[in-house]
Structure 1
Amino acid sequence: MADLADKLNRPLLDAAGLTEGHRLLDLASGAGEPALSAARRAGPDGLVVGSDLVPGMMAGAVRRARSVEGPAPTFTAADMTALPFADAAFDGVTCRFGIMFVPGVDSALREVRRVLRPGGKAAFMVWGPRAGNGLFAEIGDVVADHLGEDGSLDPLFRFAKPGLLSEVMRAAGFAETSETDLTPVRKAPAGQPFWRAALDMSFGHRLGGLSAERRKALEQDIAKRFDAQAVDGIVPVPSHARIVVGW
């Protein structure tokens, strides 16, 4: 997924106004992106702090940071609704596909405003409509066919409606907001389970109790769906993301 991730990371960091020497806080960093890319852009005179609510989520990110040459982010556990940082500590804040999972989103956005310096920008990336995200749409349809629909994907698309996150951000005190839609298409190899990580991430809680036979049948149906879309051995997988910036 690295190629698609890069196509999303770069415009997110651009939207946050990140340049050399800046101080950036990345929320819900997970496995380390875009914090790792941000650290390279901020350079040796900048500071990038990656954070996640669950310390174990960042284990891979910490290992990756130790192995890179040049500037690397630091990582720390942090609750978005009670950030352990001083007022106006950062020039920018980013969050890639994380804000939709926060129950107290109003509290989180107020905390983001608090740690931003005056004039700093917060850039959030969220998913657009499910129908525009081929990876989730196809996997979700197959799981629903086998196990029934239970709304497992609903949190991912909490802010899919244009303008919704902007409205919440302005209510939390951001003076201005802007939105930009991105629709990159990933070119995935046919016959390869490029979709398995997304399946486990989104539906692991439903798949754990399946027999090996039922799990195999489900995965075979997913593979057939994607392979049927292949052209010259390549499966085009459309994505629809949205960057919402507040300042």
Structure 2
Amino acid sequence: MSATDAAFKGSIPTVYEQYLGPLLFEPFAEDLARRLTDVPQGRILETAAGTGIVTRALAKTLQGQVEITATDLNQAMLDLAQSRLEAPNVRWLQADAQSLPFEDASFDAVVCQFGVMFFPDKLSGYREALRVLKPGGRFLFNVWNSLDLNPVSRVVSETAAKAFPDDPPRFIERVPFGYFDPDRIRGEVQQAGFENVEIDVVDKVSRAPSPREPAVGLCQGTPLRAEIEARAPERLEEITARAVEALSGRFGASSFENRMSALVVTAWR
């Protein structure tokens, strides 16, 4: 991974929340929250909580007796998340998912949305999830499916790459869309100590108000921005405009359907 691959700072959290939250993440957050409705009480840990999109879905969907601890490595993301949700059963804590500050067998479930792809050491993250789970608890996480099955993200990734033919930025395909092999995922989760692992393909459709929203969100609200600015900071707006044009050419200049595909992994302790 590049040093900038997990850099969610500056204006990135705000752009991420505004432009990518409804478009990419909320539909899958609702799916994860629904999968935990059979937890009537106890403690749930969220790792890589980002701006709190899953946290809000959990707080809305689950009963108030469930205590939710939402963690993220990036304090800037947590600051924004905390400003969006005040709930008596939710607490926020900066923490590294690969080295969690919790006792063994502390939680009934661990949930992580589109976060494990950012773990430099995925096995450590999986082992930590196993360690803090109570017997019978589950580790629930999702990852993006192939970039070919997520055409909006693919168009933006290809546009950014074409803008720098001698040194293409590859963040989108390398990190968020670089971990979609179910056999590899199952093998690594089992290697970490989980025996019962289920993987589902989940497809969702959201609606982009226009091509501008995904272009701004992906170019300026993810670490792709750092890759662009490392090459030519003065070209950020130009490349965002190119992404708008490319998306318009593919989907039209007005509102359009954003089709997405992800894998949802459930591993039981």
* TM-score calculated relative to the size of structure 2: 0.82
Structure 2 match to 1:75: 92
Structure 1 match to 2:66: 46
Structure 2 match to 1:236: 257
Alpha-carbon offset, residue 50 of structure 1: 0.2
Alpha-carbon offset, residue 208 of structure 1: 2.3
Structure 2 match to 1:226: 247
Distance 1:34 1:99 in 2: 14
Is the deviation greater in 130-139 or in 228-237? 228-237
- Residues 187-217 of structure 1, C-alpha deviations (whole Å, 9 max, x = no match): 21235333212112142113325364x4444
State, as a whole percentage, how many aligned pairs show the same letter: 23
1:151 aligns with 2:170: yes
Aligned length: 243
What does residue range 2-41 of structure 1 map to in structure 2 within 5 Å?
2=22, 4-16=24-36, 18-41=38-61
Distance 1:35 1:146 in 2: 36
1:100 aligns with 2:117: yes
Give the direction of change, closer, same or farther, for the CA distance of 1:225–1:167 in structure 2 (3 Å limit). Answer: same
Give the direction of change, closer, same or farther, for the CA distance of 1:243–1:73 in structure 2 (3 Å limit). Answer: same
Of 121, 133, 153, the match for 2:138:
121
Distance 2:201 2:122 in 1: 21
Q: Which runs of 5+ in 1 are unaligned?
A: none
Alpha-carbon offset, residue 144 of structure 1: 0.9
Distance 2:95 2:267 in 1: 21
Give the direction of change, closer, same or farther, for the CA distance of 1:240–1:156 in structure 2 (3 Å limit). Answer: same
Alpha-carbon offset, residue 72 of structure 1: 4.7
Distance 2:211 2:145 in 1: 27
Is the deviation greater in 1-10 or in 105-114? 1-10
Q: Which runs of 5+ in 2 are unaligned?
A: 1-20
Alpha-carbon offset, residue 231 of structure 1: 5.8
Distance 2:69 2:201 in 1: 26
- 1:15–1:245 CA contact under 8 A, matched in 2: no
What does residue range 164-243 of structure 1 map to in structure 2 within 5 Å?
164-190=184-210, 192-200=212-220, 201-208=222-229, 210=232, 212=234, 214-230=235-251, 233-243=254-264
User: Which amino acid is 1:104 matched to?
Assistant: D
SS of equivalent to 1:19: coil
- 2:72–2:93 CA contact under 8 A, matched in 1: yes
Is the deviation greater in 70-79 or in 112-121? 70-79
Distance 2:177 2:233 in 1: 29
Distance 2:254 2:263 in 1: 29
Alpha-carbon offset, residue 4 of structure 1: 4.5
- 1:88–1:118 CA contact under 8 A, matched in 2: yes
Alpha-carbon offset, residue 52 of structure 1: 0.7
SS of equivalent to 1:156: coil
SS of equivalent to 1:85: coil
Structure 1 match to 2:266: 245
Q: CA RMSD in A?
A: 2.1
